[in-house]
Structure 1
Amino acid sequence: MKETRSRKGNLTLISVVGGGIAGWIVNFGLSILSNSDITHLYGISIFLGVIVGLLWDISDKLNRE
């Protein structure tokens, strides 16, 4: 049972980090496509990506139960 708890914690961490990376990639892609400097929005996009990762993890846990 201890392994299951640590595995769920690791999946939450992976969701948060993955969401942050996805937010950064989306912002980077948009800056290339729009030919404008939107690097000041990196923090916001990473934060929103982390929120999406947490929501993804919460919905996954709710659907399992």
Structure 2
Amino acid sequence: MAIAAGSGARLSLSVKTLGAGVVAERKATLAKVGETQKPQSELEAELARVKRELATVTIERDI
């Protein structure tokens, strides 16, 4: 569990998200993950990008 937590932190993913990806890979369904999600609008994609950037800058500031 500690390895997953460290890896998840380096990848900016929660342990549950990382675990779900590992389970999907073991079941050979990883390629199908996300197929049912609707495409993001440009505004949603920009908001997601800005949130990721803010998280990165916040971590860099704290270091």
Question: Which TM bucket (shorter chain)?
Answer: 0.3 to 0.5
Question: Which structure carries more helix by proportion?
Answer: 1
Q: TM-score, normalised by structure 2?
A: 0.38
